[in-house]
Amino acid sequence: MAINPCKAVLRQGKCALLICDVQERFAKAMFEFDKITQNSTKLIKALKLLDVPVIVSEQNPKALGKTIPQFDISNAKGPFAKSQFSMCTPEINDELSKICCGQKPTSVILIGIEAHVCIENTAIDLRGDGYEVHTVADCCTSRSQEDRLLALERMRDIGCHITTSENVIFKLLGDAKHKEFKNIQSLVKVPTLYTGLVPASKI
């Protein structure tokens, strides 16, 4: 499916980051969880420098724990507890509708777990509400790699932009003259960790 290139653009002031259910009890069950955590931490730090607003959800936190401490969510809205598999609860929808200086963003950057459950259901709802969705593949996972990869394919089929953490960072940065370029540069010097998204033979 051809994508309008104008819709693949990310701009400061017109996008938000949604962090879905990256909680303590999931750590041992998820495929490549430590690598996903490191990639996501870099992305979260970069988007904080770029003033991208953040919303965090937690699935049944009484049973599954809080968001992992590696993530700096001190500037985020939430965490919002939920039981449904989509992040698009009434509370979160309300926050999202006004998160960009009182207005809704045109684009949502989506990271978290599980790719085939809460991430995919969130993406479906966001697309239905007219948002451009940028699913960050190297910051999303599931218990199995098969479920993860097939979920990314399905999300692409409904018009999501399947992307990577560094692609998002540099789209938002836009220019080496950006005031945060040097700070971002120091973050991206740490290589993005390989999480099996493409065959190792192609790297």
User: pLDDT tens across 139-149, in order?
Assistant: 999 999 999 99
The type of residue at 88 is C
Q: Which among 15, 20, 88, 118 is annotated as catalytic?
A: 118
Is there a catalytic annotation at residue 82? Answer: yes
42, 48, 77, 82: the catalytic one is 82
- Residues whose CB is less than 8 angstroms from the CB of residue 181 and which lie 6 or more positions away in sequence, other chains included: 173, 175
Q: What values do phi and psi take at 64, rounded to 5?
A: -110, 0
Find out whether the peptide bond into 114 is cis, omega within 30 degrees of 0. yes
pLDDT in single tens digits along all 203 residues of the chain:
556 666 778 999 999 999 999 999 999 999 999 999 999 999 999 999 999 999 999 999 999 999 999 999 999 999 999 999 999 999 999 999 999 989 999 999 999 999 999 999 999 999 999 999 999 999 999 999 999 999 999 999 999 999 999 999 999 999 999 999 999 999 999 889 999 898 765 55
Give the whole-angstrom CA distance, residue 159 versus residue 193.
Answer: 26
Q: How far apart are CA 200 and CA 203, in angstroms?
A: 5
Contacts of 85 (CB under 8 A, 6+ apart): 59, 117, 118, 121
pTM for this one?
Answer: 0.95
| pLDDT tens digits along 78-108 | 999 999 999 999 999 999 999 998 999 999 9
**Spatial CB neighbours of 67, under 8 Å, sequence gap ≥ 6:** 19, 22, 23, 24, 56, 58, 73, 79
